[in-house]
Amino acid sequence: MVNVSIIGATGYAGAELLSILHRHPQVKLVHITSESHTGKQIPELYPHLRGLCDMTLESLADLETIGKESDFIFIALPHGHAMDVGLQLEDFPVKIIDLGADYRFGDTSIYEQWYKVVHKHPNANRVYGLAEIYRSQIKDAKIIGNAGCFTTASILGLAPLVKHHLVDVNSIIVDAASGVSGAGRGLKLGNHFPELYDNFKAYSVACHRHTPEIEQALTDLGGEKVVMNFTPHLLPMTRGILATCYATLRENVSDDMVDAVFLKMYGGEKFIRLLGRDAYPETKFVRGSNYCDIGWHIDERTRRVIILSAIDNLVKGAAGHAIQNFNIAAGFDEDTALDVVPMYP
Amino acid sequence: MVNVSIIGATGYAGAELLSILHRHPQVKLVHITSESHTGKQIPELYPHLRGLCDMTLESLADLETIGKESDFIFIALPHGHAMDVGLQLEDFPVKIIDLGADYRFGDTSIYEQWYKVVHKHPNANRVYGLAEIYRSQIKDAKIIGNAGCFTTASILGLAPLVKHHLVDVNSIIVDAASGVSGAGRGLKLGNHFPELYDNFKAYSVACHRHTPEIEQALTDLGGEKVVMNFTPHLLPMTRGILATCYATLRENVSDDMVDAVFLKMYGGEKFIRLLGRDAYPETKFVRGSNYCDIGWHIDERTRRVIILSAIDNLVKGAAGHAIQNFNIAAGFDEDTALDVVPMYP
Amino acid sequence: MVNVSIIGATGYAGAELLSILHRHPQVKLVHITSESHTGKQIPELYPHLRGLCDMTLESLADLETIGKESDFIFIALPHGHAMDVGLQLEDFPVKIIDLGADYRFGDTSIYEQWYKVVHKHPNANRVYGLAEIYRSQIKDAKIIGNAGCFTTASILGLAPLVKHHLVDVNSIIVDAASGVSGAGRGLKLGNHFPELYDNFKAYSVACHRHTPEIEQALTDLGGEKVVMNFTPHLLPMTRGILATCYATLRENVSDDMVDAVFLKMYGGEKFIRLLGRDAYPETKFVRGSNYCDIGWHIDERTRRVIILSAIDNLVKGAAGHAIQNFNIAAGFDEDTALDVVPMYP
Amino acid sequence: MVNVSIIGATGYAGAELLSILHRHPQVKLVHITSESHTGKQIPELYPHLRGLCDMTLESLADLETIGKESDFIFIALPHGHAMDVGLQLEDFPVKIIDLGADYRFGDTSIYEQWYKVVHKHPNANRVYGLAEIYRSQIKDAKIIGNAGCFTTASILGLAPLVKHHLVDVNSIIVDAASGVSGAGRGLKLGNHFPELYDNFKAYSVACHRHTPEIEQALTDLGGEKVVMNFTPHLLPMTRGILATCYATLRENVSDDMVDAVFLKMYGGEKFIRLLGRDAYPETKFVRGSNYCDIGWHIDERTRRVIILSAIDNLVKGAAGHAIQNFNIAAGFDEDTALDVVPMYP
């Protein structure tokens, strides 16, 4: 058994961690924290967990005790807070999986530029937590900066083509849409039910913080600097992300070459389901699961390839991916607790 | 390992059976049938099951082989068809769990009156498949007539009060609402997305076929003939039933007596979560799970008790309940494959 | 032209007033107020009104000027605030239409008991603003206490039967459901999109403040004291209320008698559409309009009549009804600005 | 008064025509047809129109009479059928507004290639019915081929930039999403409520028939052949289209030049609301209205301009636009019957 704690357990990602860890046979949950709800029991905040997780929320004031008693700590706090935790626990043997952005960037100046926060822990022993791409480094890192939701869908969709140099890296556009749970449990007018129902909009056009994260991974994969457009949209639904990715094929790239790189890169992956050329994923096909479903189309008229990539933003886009990374780091089967059938309809 | 088949595997209840049985450690699925999709593989119809259930659909033409090779058969056909199967397999050792209405009624004349079909198998060795109430008989019956969706929520909400004679059985009204998945996968204008979205309506007012089923169980429990009103509504959402049940308390019934009968009847039940007096369930608290959440309120002004009961119509209202009954009949732990965390948000 | 002001113009009811008054040919809007958004222009808060209503929000600090310059004032404030306005403007010739609860009750002690507020203006010259029932008094009152949303649907559904003594007034139950816009634009967790989407729940069971309002009107209509159950539910959609009303028929009441009282009472009403016996309204049939659609069913088994009544909660349930009352009081055709086709699908 | 008929009045676009024409003061509706519902009254199919449009549906068998008695005919039939009508009525003085694709293309070989139908009326006196661009020709044409839904949003978003040569026409990508009403009232599994709810998907990737329509208009406007990518998505909601359009700015194009061309082209348009640079439309801001709301952003990092354009697919994307064209052709104020406030929330 591995001792696990969650810092910031009351947001949607925290609740999803609780749900998934509940079915993990080798995990013992030792501490869960919330500053705004210290002392409450989980079912007061999430009645669906009544009888399943009745733990009491603690403060993270005594972080050292949490650090000492845990083998792994998941952090599900807003960005800017995890680095305090990481710094304070630097010399403890505990491993950290941060679901926020603090540890996602190799070059912290990029983080500082996009997130407008000074990074306090730039020399952390960390890895970008996108399991299918950085699996071997994830095994050994002290801190895993779990990949973002839009970024996971976008990078997984584009990675084979960029890695194998089949597309012009200056041509990349990702147009994506997410269910509202991605915006968290905090109240704001834009996510008030009547405002969003029967409504659709773009936001953070060309300035969303997932942009540099996608660029970092694709630049790393292809060896050429990627600068791209990413446009997020908000869907009138709860869960799911669909990323529609565009890139111009390089000359002489055949359709079969495109198919081949997807198969080569993902043929053995448990959580990536390749639907193939001209077959398209729907967010509901992966709802509640850790799958990323991918399909693609090659447009002969424009010579662009269009890749469709779907995930559940709270699972493969957050808590599920974090537990996949945890399984890698802890030496468990990668799909332990994650072998869930998508909920349909 | 127990050999299991599903007759009629391509409706929503059939797909839910496939999903749940996929995680059942003691089940081997041997045959799945569909007359309209014979020869197709499941993922062609349900892409969310790609990689999880790749079985090919057969015809039920050779029912005897299916009967011989199965220990249990689930039937998820429209009413009127299961009794043909039950009749044909009467002398086979296989046990049958029918998710339709054919085997729900002790008095088949009531079935014939409400369903406008002649019953061909009136003397079947059968039991009404409401696990929490008929558990002991379910163990031994040849055929289990799995309880309906609205009926499960309604009966479970009212059973303690009726059984212990705390309410006037002539005063019972159930006003309930269901997500659209309860109407199945067959196309009809009323369930066409634009017609139902941002819409709410009642249907089958005072003539819904779940009425006699509720009356049968409550009459059986309380020993007095129950004639009641049941009004179903259609919700612009996918999954979930909430039954709001009204009954007038008999004289001298105290609030504590009401609380006590719920605790007495359901205190040890795995799948019933009592929220208590003045606490109310929401359908999303049970979504995707086999739970029935129950809360109640006593109105001193009118001396009515109002019981709120919530289930997922495809799980506790269909496939999950069927597998709970199967577990009872097969001798497994009742929650095998059903220990699922509700999906929230 | 009539000079009209709106106090509290930034909630959903206020915005709906702006929308409807925009098409009123005999209204000049002179003042609109908001304390939290003083100085802003309407499109900053409601971009859908860009180019249609570009007025600037004032404070109500100088209420006397507003009172002097207005022939009519609509108040769309939370309960407890309109009575201050009414009191202060008591001696001004302006007429007031309050969309809140302050002026709905003839007996202010009932208001005080259910709303937990001391009433400061108990002797106001006021009328309950349910147009189809109190039309003649509405013409001449100084203050119109516009009927609530659930109450309008419920009372209109039950009024003919109670007025003509066809039902037992002790048997009345109203089970109703509303879209979320009825809860207003203020943020709260229960109306946060992910919490409510694909979800359904009851709330304020047996203690909702619309209960005494329904009881008051029905008692007044039938001459017998009505004490009833009212259970509101929250629908995962934006607009629309459906009230499902139950009452036991008195002895010797025939089906035709039931039909006749509906026709008698509503045959000449512009905004009530009688669907007839065994025909049921859907909320979407009235969406965006001032209609109340009514259908009913008589259950011979239980001798209960079940009435279904549908309105748009922001129109006939709030702003539309208020403008209907305004038209009556100002001497305009009752449907001026209200002759809108429901938006379907 | 102008005599108007509708051929194919029972789809969603037909019903929307009925709704809007109901409030048109200079229109007399003389014939409405439906082959599948001949003899029925409109409220049987659309109960929301009860009391507003009680006309009886005729067959179009006697088209000549309809042609003789009408000044204008709207056709809302699936593609391939309007050209039969147009041909048969070629020598009648009646004017035709076709909401389908038959008369949208100047070069009918493009129609034949994308729609897989032989065009029977290639030499018709017709104009492409996009009012803001072809207003002067619309005045005089015999047949108006009303613009498509996705195309209206896309072309209006891109037109100023293409017309004034500010963007590279080879760089254009439109990623758009529509509510389900755009798919019509015909039943199909993909639009069955449970399949689509809480779901999002792309479809017809790089092969949607609105592609050549967008290309035709943009080529015409800019004088350079446009070949572009268009990807439609289906939203889990009823009404509304948002088009997110990408194009690379030519060298030396300043931000002010971009702003200027929008203002120049649309400054005087009644139905186009320019939100300006860095302000983004939402579909709900235009719901139920004939508005097209447009905002844009210039990304300095990639030198792409991203234009967001929102319409109601059934109004500006179909019936409203058709009536706008009708008003132009009949000499009425362009916004007659179209001065509707968007319905929010």
Q: Which amino acid is at B228?
A: M
Catalytic residue among D149, D207, D245, D292: D149
| ipTM of this predicted structure | 0.97
Contacts of C179 in chain B (CB under 8 A): 198, 200
CB atoms within 10 A of CB D35: 15
Please indicate whether, in this complex, the C-beta atoms of B343 and A344 are within 8 angstroms of each other: no
Contacts of B209 in chain C (CB under 8 A): none
CB atoms within 10 A of CB D110: 16
Give the C-alpha separation, A48 to B340, whole Å.
11
Instruction: Spell out the alpha helix ranges (H) of D58-148.
Output: 63-69, 82-88, 108-115, 131-140
Give the confidence band of A57 by pLDDT, cuts at 50, 70, 90: very high
Q: Which residues of B belong to the active site? A: 149
Tell me the per-residue pLDDT of C156-196, one tens digit each, with 9 for 90 and over.
999 999 999 999 999 999 999 999 999 999 999 999 999 99
Going from N- to C-terminal start, the domains of chain A cover 2-124, 150-313
Tell me the per-residue pLDDT of A202-221, one tens digit each, with 9 for 90 and over.
999 999 999 999 999 999 99
Give the C-alpha separation, B63 to B69, whole Å.
10
Please indicate whether, in this complex, the C-beta atoms of C187 and A187 are within 8 angstroms of each other: yes
CA-based Rg of chain B, rounded to a whole angstrom? 20
Tell me the per-residue pLDDT of A219-277, one tens digit each, with 9 for 90 and over.
999 999 999 999 999 999 999 999 999 999 999 999 999 999 999 999 999 999 999 99
What's the DSSP call for residue D30? E
Give Cα separations from D192 to B306, C192, C345, D232 (angstroms): 34, 26, 15, 19
Q: How many CB pairs under 8 A join B and D?
A: 54
Contacts of C50 in chain D (CB under 8 A): 273, 275, 285, 293
Contacts of D173 in chain A (CB under 8 A): 173, 246, 304
What is the per-residue pLDDT for A135?
98
Contacts of A240 in chain B (CB under 8 A): none
Q: What is the mean pLDDT of residues A83-93?
A: 97
Please indicate whether, in this complex, the C-beta atoms of D238 and C345 are within 8 angstroms of each other: yes
State which H helix or E strand residue C307 sits in: strand C304-311
Tell me the per-residue pLDDT of A166-214, one tens digit each, with 9 for 90 and over.
999 999 999 999 999 999 999 999 999 999 999 999 999 999 999 999 9
Structure token pair of residue C186: 């203020």
What is the per-residue pLDDT for C86?
98
Give the C-alpha separation, A213 to A145, whole Å.
11
Give the C-alpha separation, C49 to D344, whole Å.
9
What is the per-residue pLDDT for B37?
98
Contacts of A238 in chain C (CB under 8 A): 193-194, 197-198
Cβ atoms D227, D162 nearer than 8 A = no
What is the per-residue pLDDT for D114?
98
Tell me the per-residue pLDDT of C326-341, one tens digit each, with 9 for 90 and over.
999 999 999 999 999 9
What is the per-residue pLDDT for C97?
98
Please indicate whether, in this complex, the C-beta atoms of B341 and A275 are within 8 angstroms of each other: no
What is the per-residue pLDDT for B110?
98
β-strand pairing of A229-234 with A173-178: parallel
Please indicate whether, in this complex, the C-beta atoms of B181 and D198 are within 8 angstroms of each other: no
Please indicate whether, in this complex, the C-beta atoms of D285 and C181 are within 8 angstroms of each other: no
pLDDT tens for chain D, 345 residues long, are: 999 999 999 999 999 999 999 999 999 999 999 999 999 999 999 999 999 999 999 999 999 999 999 999 999 999 999 999 999 999 999 999 999 999 999 999 999 999 999 999 999 999 999 999 999 999 999 999 999 999 999 999 999 999 999 999 999 999 999 999 999 999 999 999 999 999 999 999 999 999 999 999 999 999 999 999 999 999 999 999 999 999 999 999 999 999 999 999 999 999 999 999 999 999 999 999 999 999 999 999 999 999 999 999 999 999 999 999 999 999 999 999 999 999 999
Please indicate whether, in this complex, the C-beta atoms of A238 and C12 are within 8 angstroms of each other: no
**Fold match between domain D2-124 and domain D150-313:** no
Right CATH for B150-313 from 3.30.360.10, 1.10.287.10, 1.10.760.10, 3.40.50.720? 3.30.360.10
What are D's interface residues with C at a Cβ cutoff of 8 A?
12, 15, 19, 22-23, 46-52, 181, 197-198, 238-239, 273, 275, 281-282, 284-289, 293, 339, 341-345
What is the per-residue pLDDT for B205?
98
Give the confidence band of C225 by pLDDT, cuts at 50, 70, 90: very high
Contacts of C238 in chain B (CB under 8 A): 198
Contacts of C185 in chain A (CB under 8 A): 189, 192, 194
Give the C-alpha separation, B7 to B13, whole Å.
11
Please indicate whether, in this complex, the C-beta atoms of A200 and D240 are within 8 angstroms of each other: yes
**Min CA distance, D61 vs chain C (Å)?**
29
What are D's interface residues with A at a Cβ cutoff of 8 A?
173, 175, 177, 179, 194-195, 197-203, 205-206, 227-229, 231, 233, 235-240, 242, 244, 246, 278, 280-284, 287, 297, 299, 301-302, 304, 306, 308, 345
Catalogue the E-assigned strands of D43-194. Answer: 72-75, 95-98, 126-129, 143-146, 173-178
Please indicate whether, in this complex, the C-beta atoms of A280 and D244 are within 8 angstroms of each other: no
Tell me the per-residue pLDDT of A4-26, one tens digit each, with 9 for 90 and over.
999 999 999 999 999 999 999 99
What are B's interface residues with C at a Cβ cutoff of 8 A?
173, 175, 177, 179, 194-195, 197-203, 205-206, 227-229, 231, 233, 235-240, 242, 244, 246, 278, 280-284, 287, 297, 299, 301-302, 304, 306, 308, 345
Give the confidence band of A58 by pLDDT, cuts at 50, 70, 90: very high
CB atoms within 10 A of CB D136: 9
Structure token pair of residue C35: 């304390």
**Which of C48, C181, C345 shows the shortest C-beta gap to D181?**
C345
Q: How many CB pairs under 8 A join C and D?
A: 76
Q: Which amino acid is at D7?
A: I
What's the DSSP call for residue A9? -
* CA C312, C315, C316, C318 torsion-angle sign: positive
Q: Residue C91: left (phi > 0), alpha (psi -120 to 50), or beta?
A: alpha
What is the per-residue pLDDT for C329?
98
Superfamily of domain B2-124: NAD(P)-binding Rossmann-like Domain (3.40.50.720)
What is the per-residue pLDDT for B136?
97
**Min CA distance, C159 vs chain A (Å)?**
31
Structure token pair of residue B118: 């002649």
**Which of D194, D246, D283 shows the shortest C-beta gap to A200?**
D283
Give the C-alpha separation, B44 to D116, whole Å.
27
Residue in C199, C219, C245, C248 to test binding to B, most B beta-carbons within 10 Å: C199
Residue in A169, A171, A193, A205 to test binding to D, most D beta-carbons within 10 Å: A205
Q: Is the peptide bond before D345 cis (omega within 30 degrees of 0)?
A: yes
Please indicate whether, in this complex, the C-beta atoms of C15 and D344 are within 8 angstroms of each other: yes
Consecutive 10-residue averages of pLDDT for chain B (345 residues): 98 98 98 98 98 97 97 97 98 98 98 98 98 98 98 98 98 98 97 98 98 98 98 98 98 98 98 98 98 98 98 98 98 97 98
Q: Which residues of C belong to the active site? A: 149
Q: Is D275 helix (H, G, I), strand (E, B) or coil?
A: strand
Neighbours of chain A (3+ CB pairs under 8 A): B, C, D
Cβ atoms C342, C285 nearer than 8 A = yes
Start-to-end Cα distance in chain A = 35
